[in-house]
């Protein structure tokens, strides 16, 4: 946290530099109304200290490879011409190299049907994991539009990993503590002020780290693979819903940004309700939107803890996904009715 604070002070001292600042614009995804620091994710690099304290070589590799995805996101944050197509190609190639050379695959899904379908092939496990990485990395980037939302989701997932993990695994818990500490200061500042956002660099970094930890926890039998899916469902489904909505309903490029995500629609609805009722809030609309979603996400993790053993994690995943889709449809109709 001290290192995060040091990196924060550096960012603040450079806040007027055009490369790291972002002014209000008519960009459909940007809802801030004042100049902000757009690469706050640099503060997450304080988690690199884990390399010196964590002895597990696999966990060290996860952090090191996470930095590569951080650099892809940082390039996107700094250079306008570094478009989504360049990012996607570089990310895909990098994931193929990492997954194939270092065997970052799921060796047991703890589900008979999934094991039969995916593990019966020599190629499908790699395809599945590469696709999963793309979903969670870009899913984290999708939910980075509101104050504290992406960081809050990341912290909640890490806390769940920590809760379910045997405390005998010292390296894991040390890594959890370092990652949570790295996120916490930025989360507080981002949530309260909105003047420093994580940016693509932080979203790509955290998305890769959490995806990799999920694979590792499943492979060392600390969590079921389907259990991990239940804990990280929200950002993955956000990407999945947006992708097919753009293709089927909007008839548009699935990779082109828009403002029809769940958090975007909820933000619009909250603004309309506040204006309609002429209420004054002590928390800004952006942060309020994040707070509502984070509370719902926390409730979903409690729901998994209480009922997943009874229903099965696979069924629970589909229940959570269906609930997210239903909420999205309801909010979308409410916004469109105004």
Q: Can you give the residue ranges of every domain in the chain?
A: 2-337
Range scoring the smallest mean pLDDT among 18-32, 145-159, 189-203: 18-32
Rounded to whole angstroms, the Cα distance separating 260 from 322 reads 18
pLDDT in tens, 74-83: 999 998 888 8
pLDDT in tens, 31-68: 555 678 888 999 999 999 989 889 999 999 999 999 99
Query: Is residue 65 within 8 Å of 208, Cβ to Cβ?
Result: yes
- Tell me what pLDDT residue 31 has: 57
Residue 280 binned pLDDT confidence (cut-offs 50, 70, 90): low
């Amino acid at each position: 946290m001290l290192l995060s604070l040091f990196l924060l002070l550096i960012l603040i001292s450079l806040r007027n530099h055009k490369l790291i600042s972002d002014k209000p614009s008519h960009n459909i995804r940007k809802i801030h109304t004042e100049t902000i620091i757009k690469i706050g994710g640099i503060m997450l690099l304080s988690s690199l200290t884990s390399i010196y304290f964590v002895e597990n070589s696999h966990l060290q590799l996860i952090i090191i490879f996470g930095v590569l995805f951080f650099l892809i996101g940082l390039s996107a944050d700094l250079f306008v011409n570094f478009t989504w197509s360049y990012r996607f190609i570089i990310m895909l190639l990098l994931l193929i190299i990492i997954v194939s050379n270092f065997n970052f695959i799921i060796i047991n899904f703890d589900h008979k049907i999934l094991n039969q379908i995916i593990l019966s092939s020599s190629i499908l496990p790699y395809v599945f994991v590469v696709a999963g990485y793309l979903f969670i990395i870009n899913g984290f980037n999708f939910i980075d539009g509101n104050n504290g939302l992406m960081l809050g989701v990341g912290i909640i997932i890490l806390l769940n990993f920590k809760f379910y993990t045997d405390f005998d695994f010292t390296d894991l818990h040390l890594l959890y503590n370092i990652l949570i500490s790295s996120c916490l200061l930025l989360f507080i500042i981002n949530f309260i002020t909105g003047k420093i956002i994580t940016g693509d660099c932080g979203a790509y970094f955290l998305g890769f780290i959490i995806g990799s930890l999920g694979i590792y926890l499943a492979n060392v039998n600390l969590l079921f693979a389907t259990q991990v899916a239940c804990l990280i469902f929200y950002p993955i489904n956000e990407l999945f819903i947006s992708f097919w909505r753009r293709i089927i309903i909007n008839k548009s490029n699935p990779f082109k940004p828009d403002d029809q995500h769940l958090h975007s629609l909820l933000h619009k609805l909250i603004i309309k309700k506040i204006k309609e009722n002429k209420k004054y809030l002590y928390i800004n609309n952006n942060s309020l939107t994040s707070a509502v979603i984070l509370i719902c996400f926390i409730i979903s993790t409690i729901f998994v803890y209480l009922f997943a053993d009874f229903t099965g994690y696979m069924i629970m995943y589909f229940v959570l996904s269906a609930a997210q889709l239903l909420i999205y449809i309801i909010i979308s109709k409410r916004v469109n009715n105004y």
